[in-house]
Structures are given as structure tokens and as C-alpha cells.
Amino acid sequence: MDEERGAPVGRRVVLAMLGLGAAGVAVGATAQREVTRVFSPVNGLGDVLPAVGGFRFYSVVGTVRAPRDPRVRVDGLVARPHGYSPGELAALPQTRLRRDFQCVTGWRVPHVEWAGVALPDLLDAVGVSPRARAVRFHSFDGAYTESLTLEQARRRDVLVATSMQGGPVGHDHGGPVRLLVAPMYGYKSLKWLGRIELTETVHPGYWEERGYDVDAWVGRSNGRDDAPT
């Protein structure tokens, strides 16, 4: 396995395993290790089986502990940096969305209900500097990052989500607070959100550093010859 191109190889292996059946028959031990290393689903071997409700639980670092401090810090090029507690997020105007959730590897969960603070409302609350052009998101454990242009981040279908399917966002799904970028592939929807940083330029996120598109609109070609249709 080529370390440099770990993610695309891992994805092809997963797709191969899906084609071969859940047991991954005839997929060698090395390939299986690669799948575990790259995708490390929280629920272990459930990685190639649809989980309850059609979701698969993805985490590039395997199990993630619960955050000691569940605050989401908004900082960088903003007038009033602030760490928002879940209670403070709940006190801001809430936005609800019902959208299909789609991973670039091909699985999709129809009609997922989300609620939380629309990102543009949070950006208005902290006051974005005129120098800011992009937003960088960090998981609280520092293992995963994502990015949006400021224009994308101002869409009302981008949520700092605290609720999913009518309840709190569970730990496996990135709770207590995760990002939902409804019009883009699942990898944009960073779990275990710890920090929202306003920046001058786009900093490509975890999977984007590994070959996936920075603009991850669902339904538009992502320009990869091995992309699932």
C-alpha cells in the first residue's frame, strides 16, 4: 500500500470488500489492515455493513473519547472570539433541516433530520473580519479538519448541529456538536467539532489532503476517475 495515497487506496479496498461481501472474503490481511487504519469505524467490523438507520460510523482515528470541555471555540479573524457551550448554542436561533446524507463512498441515508445553529448566524454573532475569506474546522482531538470558503460557510444549510433525528447528536455521530454541510459529501460534515477558525485562505481538510475535492458538492463530478457514481 502506498502511504502517500492511503485514502484513495483504502476507499477502493472498501468498495472491493462491498463487492465481495461483508466478510471481505479473498481480501488479504494487509488490505484489511489498511481499511482499519484509514477508516477505523467506531463500531469495528461493522465498517462494511450498514449500521442502524443506514449510517456508518466513520472516524479516521478509531474511537474518540468524549470531549472534556464540550465548548466550540470560534476564533481567528473575528471581532469577538468566543467558546460556545452547548447551552449557549441552544440559546441562539435554531435552524432545522431534513436532507439526505451521502458519503462519497456510495452510501446514503435519506431524509435525516438535523437541528442546530445555522453557521451564518454564529458567524454574525462573533463578527467576521473583512480579511477573512475561509473557515477552517477542527475536531476537538485535533485529528480531523475541514474547510469551506466564507461564501459556502454563509449558506443556511450549513449547521453547527446539536440535534439529529430528533435527539441529541450521539457520540459516534460526532456529538455533542458536529458540523453538517448539507449540500456536500459527508466528509465535509466534521464530527466532534471543537473549533471554528476564520482564515484568509482555504486550508484543505483531512480527506482533501488525501485526494478528495475541496468543493464536495453532492451530484457534481468530483473529478476522480475511480469515483463511485
Ligand X SMILES: Nc1nc2c(c(=O)[nH]1)N[C@H]1C(S)=C(S)[C@@H](COP(=O)(O)O)O[C@H]1N2
Residue ranges in contact with ligand X by CB under 6 A: 55-60, 103, 139, 144, 173-174, 186-187, 189-192
Which partner in ligand X, Mo ion, none is near 139 (CB below 5 to 8 A by kind)?
A: ligand X
**C-alpha to C-alpha distance for 120 and 168, rounded to whole angstroms:** 21
**Whether the Cβ atoms of residue 132 and residue 77 lie closer than 8 Å to each other:** yes
Per-residue b or e along 111-125, where b marks 16 or more CB atoms closer than 10 Å to that residue's CB: ebebbbbbbbbbbeb
Return the number of the residue (67 or 186) whose C-beta is nearest ligand X: 186
Pick from 57, 49, 44, 43: nearest CA to 22:
49
Return the number of the residue (109 or 134) whose C-beta is nearest Mo ion: 109
Return the number of the residue (106 or 127) whose C-beta is nearest Mo ion: 106
Return the number of the residue (77 or 137) whose C-beta is nearest ligand X: 137
State the chain's maximal CA–CA distance in angstroms: 56
Which partner in ligand X, Mo ion, none is near 190 (CB below 5 to 8 A by kind)?
A: ligand X
CB of 7 to ligand X, least distance (A): 10
CB of 79 to ligand X, least distance (A): 28
Q: Which residues bind Mo ion (CB under 5 A)?
A: 103, 186-187
User: Could you give the C-alpha distances from 49 to 40, 44, 54, 63, in angstroms and in order?
Assistant: 13, 10, 9, 18
**C-alpha to C-alpha distance for 222 and 7, rounded to whole angstroms:** 15
Which partner in Mo ion, ligand X, none is near 195 (CB below 5 to 8 A by kind)?
A: none
CB of 33 to ligand X, least distance (A): 17
Q: List strand residue ranges (DSSP E) for 87-221, in order.
A: 95-102, 108-118, 134-139, 145-149, 158-164, 167-168, 178-181, 193-199
CB of 229 to ligand X, least distance (A): 17
- The DSSP letter of residue 62 is S
**C-alpha to C-alpha distance for 204 and 86, rounded to whole angstroms:** 27
Which partner in Mo ion, ligand X, none is near 144 (CB below 5 to 8 A by kind)?
A: ligand X
Return the number of the residue (128 or 139) whose C-beta is nearest ligand X: 139
Which partner in ligand X, Mo ion, none is near 116 (CB below 5 to 8 A by kind)?
A: none
CB of 58 to Mo ion, least distance (A): 6
Q: Which residue is nearest to ligand X (CB)?
A: 186
Return the number of the residue (124 or 226) whose C-beta is nearest ligand X: 226
Residue type, 54: G
